[in-house]
Structure 1
Amino acid sequence: MTTQHQPKTGANDNIASIRLSSVYLPLATPISDAKVLTGRQKPMTEIAILFAEIETEGGDKGLGFSYAKRAGGPGQFAHAREIAPALIGEDANDIARLWNKLIWAGASVGRSGLATQAIGAFDVALWDLKARRANLPLAKLLGAHRDSVKCYNTSGGFLHTPLDQLLMNASKSVEKGIGGIKLKVGQPDCAADIQRVETVRKHLGDGFALMVDANQQWDRPTAQRMCRILEQFNLIWIEEPLDAYDSEGHAALAAQFDTPIATGEMLTSVAEHWDLIRHRAADYLMPDGPRVGGITPFLTVATLADHAGLMIAPHFAMELHVHLAAAYPREPWVEHFEWLEPLFNERLEIKDGRMLVPTRPGIGVSLSGQVAGWTREQAEFGAKR
Structure 2
Amino acid sequence: MICPSCGHEIDDDAAFCTECGARIDQPAAPEPDEPAPAKKRPLSVAQKAAIAGLVVALLAGGGGAGYYFGAYVPGQRRAAAQKLADERAHVNVRVKIAVSVDGWDTATGASRLPVHVTGTSADGDVDEVQYVASDGTGIVLIPGTYDIVVAASPIAADGSLFDVPSQRASLTVGADTDVDPDSPDVPATPDEVAPLPDTDYDSTGDVAVTLTPADMTTVTDDQIAEAKRYASQDPQAAAGSADQLASSATAKRDDAVAQKKTAEEEAARKKAAEEAAAKKQQAMGDLVSRALSTNYDDGTRSDGIDSTSFKFDRKQTSNGAGPFLDHRDGFWTVKIYSGDEATSRAVALYAFKQGVGSSLLHKENWPSIDADGQGIAVVGIYGSKDEAAAGTKELEAAGIPYDKVIFTGPRSGTSGRV
Q: Please indicate the TM-score interval, normalised by the length of the shorter structure.
A: under 0.3
Q: RCO greater where, 1 or 2, for CA within 8 Å and sep 6 or more?
A: 1
Task: Provide the TM-score with structure 1 as the length reference.
Answer: 0.17
Structure having the larger proportion of residues in helix: 1
Bigger Rg, structure 1 or 2: 2
Task: Provide the TM-score with structure 2 as the length reference.
Answer: 0.16
